[in-house]
Amino acid sequence: MRSIYLLGKDTQDEWRLVEQLGGSPNKFFRATQRIAWGLTQPDLMRVDVLDTARKLVASHGSQFPAHLYAAWVWRARDPDRAQRSLDDARVLATPDHPLIDLLPTEAEWRAESLPQRLVEIHPDRMWRVAHMFPMTGAPLLHNTVATVVKLGDDLAIINPIAFEPAIADQVRQLGNVRWLITQGKGHSLFVESARRQFPGSIAIGTAGHLTHPPTRHLQLDGLLGTAKLPDELAVIPIEGHLLDEVLLVDRVSRTLIVQDVFALSGAAQSFVARLYALAWGSVEQLGYMGFSLIMWQSMPKLHASLAALRSEELAHVVGAHGTVTCRAGDIERVHAMIEYTRGITTFGHRAMLGRLFLAQPSFLRDLIVYLRSTKNQRDA
């Protein structure tokens, strides 16, 4: 049976994690999902995160990951208590533990930001800049990565960030910043500041931005799909998915540029992003977060969008989070996830979604409350 915690895998794969998670994987994922959403989406999900963390440590505390989630929960409330949870985790974590990379570095725990760097990933064609900013729920940093693509004499910045002045200068030296592109409902936080940093640039968003309450204020000059962009940048809308994301493919470097449809998990993310990704079962290099099951709205539409993606010739993938450079193996993972999704029928998806909500009834309740409360805004 398909796992609802590890998308792309079967339920029997969950049980291989018993030892490293310190107990029942189902129970571990249910608790950590609640902590992850309870901390980062407190306006949407009502979770007693302290109680959830206490119970998680009681049931899974023989291994270190449970203590890290407790440390995350305590980090904003009582730094000394959080430090004790981190110390407990460090005592238990042996160097050969498969999840050893979950542990925070000292800099990550102190929430120290690294200086920005403009990294060329395809010569004279594509550059990337990581930006660190506090994630909701604790004073710990999350990272998001801007991608700069050279199209003729002009530049497109995909997923704009708050550029440090020196980095903005370096970008200007590469060419004229013409387009600021955000690919989905999220990731609009820095569009306005980037517009000020690059006067004359055009902000391009998606239809999702126009209806999503937190992003409706955005001043956009056009939408992906209808705005005129050079042909070398292919535009692939992912339909049937609540993220309303539009994937981009730079056909010259054969690079897929994704925001959140695929999660590029791995050690290079921030500490909280690693905890978040494990909670949602995205433990490999590239995959789906478990909450994708909630986001998928129409399997036939999703399949058609992924078929369009499959027909593109792809060699690399970069995302809005995680590593700055391209990783080996990620494109193969994209194709594996496409095939996995194409194997899930509408009925199969509903069955998986039913199992998820049976495991997390409070999520269903809170989502219904949220959808009702925002219905008028979304209809407007």
Shortest spacing between CB 319 and Fe ion, in angstroms: 8
Cβ nearer to Fe ion, comparing 89 with 318: 318
Cβ nearer to Fe ion, comparing 42 with 300: 42
HSE of 356, CA atoms in CB hemisphere, 13 A: 26
Interface mask toward Fe ion for 262-301; x: CB under 5 A:
----------------------------------------
Kindly write down the DSSP assignment for every residue of 173-216, as one continuous string.
HH-EEEEEE--SSS--TTHHHHHHHSTT-EEEE-HHHHHSGGGT
Cβ nearer to Fe ion, comparing 82 with 204: 204
Cβ nearer to Fe ion, comparing 250 with 260: 260
Strands 202-205 and 176-181: parallel
Structure tokens at 219: 């001043």
Which residue sits closest to Fe ion, CB atoms considered? 260
Shortest spacing between CB 297 and Fe ion, in angstroms: 19
Per residue, the 3-state secondary structure of 89-144, as one string, reads HHHHCCCCCCCHHHCCCHHHHCCCCCCCCCEEEECCCEEEEEEEEECCCCCCEEEE
Tell the burial category of 361 from Cβ atoms under 10 Å away from its Cβ (0-12, 13-18, 19+): exposed
Cα 306 to chain centroid, rounded? 18
Cβ nearer to Fe ion, comparing 22 with 322: 322
In this structure, are residues 133 and 273 in contact, taking their beta carbons and an 8 Å threshold? no
Shortest spacing between CB 288 and Fe ion, in angstroms: 13
Alpha-carbon gap, residue 1 to 46, rounded angstroms: 30
Stretch that binds Fe ion, among 75-83, 192-200, 253-261, 310-318 (CB under 5 A): 253-261
Shortest spacing between CB 159 and Fe ion, in angstroms: 9
Instruction: Based on the shown chain and the rule CB under 5 A, indicate whether residue 260 belongs to the binding site for Fe ion.
Output: yes
Shortest spacing between CB 272 and Fe ion, in angstroms: 13
Cβ nearer to Fe ion, comparing 17 with 238: 238
Tell the burial category of 168 from Cβ atoms under 10 Å away from its Cβ (0-12, 13-18, 19+): middle
Cβ nearer to Fe ion, comparing 260 with 366: 260
Instruction: Based on the shown chain and the rule CB under 5 A, indicate whether residue 366 belongs to the binding site for Fe ion.
Output: no
Stretch that binds Fe ion, among 6-14, 70-78, 255-263, 342-350 (CB under 5 A): 255-263
Instruction: Based on the shown chain and the rule CB under 5 A, indicate whether residue 250 belongs to the binding site for Fe ion.
Output: no
Shortest spacing between CB 362 and Fe ion, in angstroms: 24
Alpha-carbon gap, residue 288 to 380, rounded angstroms: 31
3-state secondary structure of 279: helix
Stretch that binds Fe ion, among 126-134, 238-246, 256-264, 278-286 (CB under 5 A): 256-264
Shortest spacing between CB 186 and Fe ion, in angstroms: 5
Shortest spacing between CB 17 and Fe ion, in angstroms: 25
Strands 246-250 and 255-257: antiparallel
Total residues interacting with Fe ion, rule: CB under 5 A: 1
Shortest spacing between CB 205 and Fe ion, in angstroms: 15
Residues in the chain: 380
Cβ nearer to Fe ion, comparing 135 with 202: 135
In this structure, are residues 148 and 128 in contact, taking their beta carbons and an 8 Å threshold? yes
Shortest spacing between CB 191 and Fe ion, in angstroms: 14
Stretch that binds Fe ion, among 20-28, 33-41, 260-268, 357-365 (CB under 5 A): 260-268
Nearest to 22, CA basis, from 142, 130, 102, 79 = 102
Cβ nearer to Fe ion, comparing 142 with 178: 142
Spatial CB neighbours of 55, under 8 Å, sequence gap ≥ 6: 31
Cβ nearer to Fe ion, comparing 260 with 330: 260
Stretch that binds Fe ion, among 114-122, 189-197, 254-262, 263-271 (CB under 5 A): 254-262
Summarize as ranges the residues that interact with Fe ion (CB under 5 A).
260
